[in-house]
């Protein structure tokens, strides 16, 4: 075996002492479990929030390849109805979330099947194409053995040419326990590490040593799913931008912010460049004009085919700001701190809480109280504290 890591020294799970999970739930005087169940539920909700670590340097412009295992093991029915279907469903949601959180990122999908690797979609920023491609996979039968090395090579071929200011990532969804490779896979691992490609693996079966090494060497993450919701959590963890590796360099990228012209005068009608090759090119529709070469495009973000300028709109960039300036976690108010005469309302949704049952959370900056549902909503969806939002002291 390779060098034993610290995590290996903990031993296997069956060797550790057993946990007394029944002691977590406690009955109250009336014999009901509601309050302790509520505590557990709240604890789970909060845990997700607290796990996020604020990090200033994140890789915003992401180029991510998804490598999907289409081998025999994906026919297994431990995830309903079978692994492949389950993974494809989650993948659609992943793609939608990915482009929602990283509007200027790009995604590509590679499948591996029968000891070969195929490119399903190229690296592109158009989410419809990816989702359609994933949906078309629903009818394919998983077959044969996967080839990890081949698929990593295919991905690396494209990722090598990406400028180094952007993050290069691979996420492998691996369901098999074996891999059939033409050469030495450690060479591929080394090549990926040198090229600053961050590989993460999501396993569906059991821990595989080569995946573990791959993830560790390239500073990625390796997680193995227990069930469907855990798989979803593992997959969605990759939607958020990863921290930038120590070797990356920072660049200034020239980008254009095109204006949209809604109605064109009859003598100014033009074709758009995105649909030019299609059988029915679009003529005279409103579109965005590149500020440098004035070519028209229907949707943003896009890379101008004529002058190579990346065209985005300000909200696209703004969508990623919340990763960089996240809301500070709120601190919990214990019931003893709150006097009974104080107003027990949540600041944003006006729900009245009785402090002995449900905890309230306070924002350190604006000192306003929030209930737990608003706390989750603010941190996961809204990304800005309503109390601080209007405050002139906190601008930006």
Partner 1 sequence: MAMTGLTTLGSSDTGAAGVESISNILVVILDLNISWWSDQMESGAIRNGVSSSHASQQYSLAFSLDQIFIFLNSYLLIQPNNKVVVLGCLESQSYFLYPPTGDASGPAINDSRPEAFRMVNEAVLNSVRNILTRELSKETQNSESSHETVFIGALSRSLCYIHRLQREAPKGQLVNGRVLVIETGLDSSSHYMHFINTIFTAQKMNIKMDACVLGEDSVLLQQAVDLTGGLYVKVDNAAGIAQVLNTVFLLDADERSKFVVPERVQVDYRAACFCHQKLVEVGFVCSVCLSVFCVPGPMCTTCNSVFKYMLPQKQKRKGPLTNGKTAEVSPSSQPAKRKTGETQRERNGNS
Task: Please report, as residue ranges, which positions from 130 to 159 form the binding site for partner 1 (by CB under 8 A).
Answer: none
Termini Cα distance of the chain: 53
- Closer residue to partner 1 (CB): 130 or 323: 323
Bridge-based pairing of strands 331-333 and 222-224 is: unpaired
Cβ 202 to partner 1 shortest distance, Å: 25
CB of 227 to partner 1, least distance (A): 25
Quote the distance between the C-alpha of residue 177 and its chain's center: 25
Q: How far is CA 280 from the centre of its chain?
A: 35
In what helix (H) or strand (E) does residue 317 lie, and over which residues does it extend?
Answer: helix 314-319
- Residues paired with residue 171 on neighbouring β-strands, in sequence order: 66, 200
- 326-335: string of b/e by CB count within 10 Å (b at 16+)? ebebbeeeee
Q: Which of 32, 48, 57, 207 binds partner 1 (CB under 8 A)?
A: 57
Q: Which is nearer to partner 1, 1 or 393 (CB)?
A: 393
| Residue 228 DSSP class | H
Which of these ranges, 1-9, 86-94, 144-152, 163-171, lies near partner 1 under the rule CB under 8 A? 163-171
Q: Which of residues 280-319 bind partner 1 (CB under 8 A)?
A: 291-293, 307-309, 313-315, 317-319
Nearer CB in complex with partner 1: 115/322: 322
According to CB under 8 A, which one of 88, 236, 255, 298 is a site residue for partner 1? 255
Read off the tokens for 101. Answer: 């959180």
Check residue 61 for interaction with partner 1 (CB under 8 A).
yes
Residues constituting the chain: 396
Site for partner 1 in 68-107 (CB under 8 A): 100
- Find the binding residues for partner 1 in span 7-46 (CB under 8 A): none
* Preceding omega of 81 cis (within 30 degrees of 0): yes
Binding-site member from 14, 18, 22, 250 for partner 1 (CB under 8 A) = 250
Spatial neighbors of 161 by CB under 8 A, at least 6 apart, are: none
Long-range CB pairs of 385-393, under 8 A, 24+ apart, other chains included: 385/327, 385/328, 386/347, 386/348, 387/347, 387/363, 388/363, 391/365, 391/366
Minimum Å gap between C-beta 118 and partner 1 is: 22
What is the closest distance, in whole angstroms, from the C-beta atom of residue 334 to partner 1 in the complex? 23
Place of tokens 């300036």: 325
Segment 352 to 391, residues that bind partner 1, using CB under 8 A: 373-374, 377-378, 381-391
225 CB-contact burial (10 Å; exposed 0-12 / middle 13-18 / buried 19+): buried
CB nearer partner 1, residue 9 or residue 247:
247
**Whole-number minimum distance, CB 316 to partner 1, in Å?**
9
**Which parts of 173-212 interact with partner 1 (CB under 8 A)?**
195-196
Q: Smallest distance from the beta carbon of 72 to partner 1, in angstroms?
A: 35
Dihedral over Cα of 37, 38, 39, 42: its sign: positive
The nearest distance, CB 56 to partner 1, in angstroms, is 6
C-alpha–C-alpha distance, residues 158 and 85, integer Å: 28
Decide if 234 contacts 173 (C-beta within 8 A): no
Q: 293 vs 298, which CB is nearer to partner 1?
A: 293
Stretch that binds partner 1, among 17-25, 75-83, 248-256, 332-340 (CB under 8 A): 248-256
Lookup: tokens for 58: 């994140």
Give me the least distance between CB of 110 and partner 1, in Å please. Answer: 19
Exposure letters 198-209 (e unless 16+ CB within 10 A, then b): bbbbbbbbeebe
Distance of closest approach, residue 250 Cβ to partner 1, in angstroms? 4
């Amino acid at each position: 075996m390779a060098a034993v890591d610290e995590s290996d020294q903990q031993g296997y799970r069956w060797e550790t002492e057993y946990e007394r999970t029944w002691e977590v739930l406690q009955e109250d005087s009336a014999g009901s479990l509601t309050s302790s169940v509520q505590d557990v539920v709240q604890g789970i909700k909060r845990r997700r929030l607290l796990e996020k670590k604020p990090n200033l340097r994140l890789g915003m412009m992401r180029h991510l390849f998804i490598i999907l295992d289409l081998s025999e093991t994906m026919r297994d029915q431990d995830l309903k109805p079978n692994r492949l279907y389950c993974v494809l469903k989650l993948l659609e949601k992943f793609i939608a979330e990915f482009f929602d959180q990283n509007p200027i990122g790009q995604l590509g999908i590679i499948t591996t099947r029968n000891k070969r690797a195929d490119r399903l979609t190229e690296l592109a920023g158009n989410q419809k194409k990816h989702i359609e491609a994933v949906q078309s996979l629903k009818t394919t039968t998983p077959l044969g053995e996967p080839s990890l090395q081949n698929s990593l090579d295919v991905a690396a071929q494209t990722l090598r040419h990406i400028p180094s200011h952007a993050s290069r990532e691979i996420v492998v969804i691996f369901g098999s326990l074996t891999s059939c490779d033409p050469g030495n896979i450690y060479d591929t691992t080394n090549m990926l590490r040198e090229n600053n490609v961050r590989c993460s693996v999501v396993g569906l079966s059991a821990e595989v040593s080569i995946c573990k090494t791959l993830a560790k060497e390239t500073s990625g993450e390796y997680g193995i799913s227990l069930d469907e919701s855990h798989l979803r959590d593992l997959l969605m963890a990759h939607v958020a931008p990863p921290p930038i590796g120590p070797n990356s360099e920072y660049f200034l990228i020239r980008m254009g912010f095109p204006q949209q012209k809604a109605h064109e005068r009859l003598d100014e009608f033009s074709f758009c460049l995105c649909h030019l090759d299609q059988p029915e090119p679009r003529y005279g529709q409103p579109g965005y004009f590149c500020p440098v070469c004035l070519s028209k495009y229907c949707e943003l973000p896009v890379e101008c085919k004529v002058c190579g300028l990346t065209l985005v709109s300000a909200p696209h960039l703004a969508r990623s700001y919340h990763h960089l300036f996240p809301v500070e976690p709120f601190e919990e108010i214990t019931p003893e701190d709150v006097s009974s005469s104080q107003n027990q309302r949540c600041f944003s949704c006006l729900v009245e809480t009785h402090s002995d049952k449900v905890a309230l959370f306070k924002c350190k900056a604006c000192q306003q109280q929030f209930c737990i549902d608003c706390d989750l909503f603010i941190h996961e969806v809204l990304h800005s504290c309503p109390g601080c939002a209007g405050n002139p002291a906190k601008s930006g």
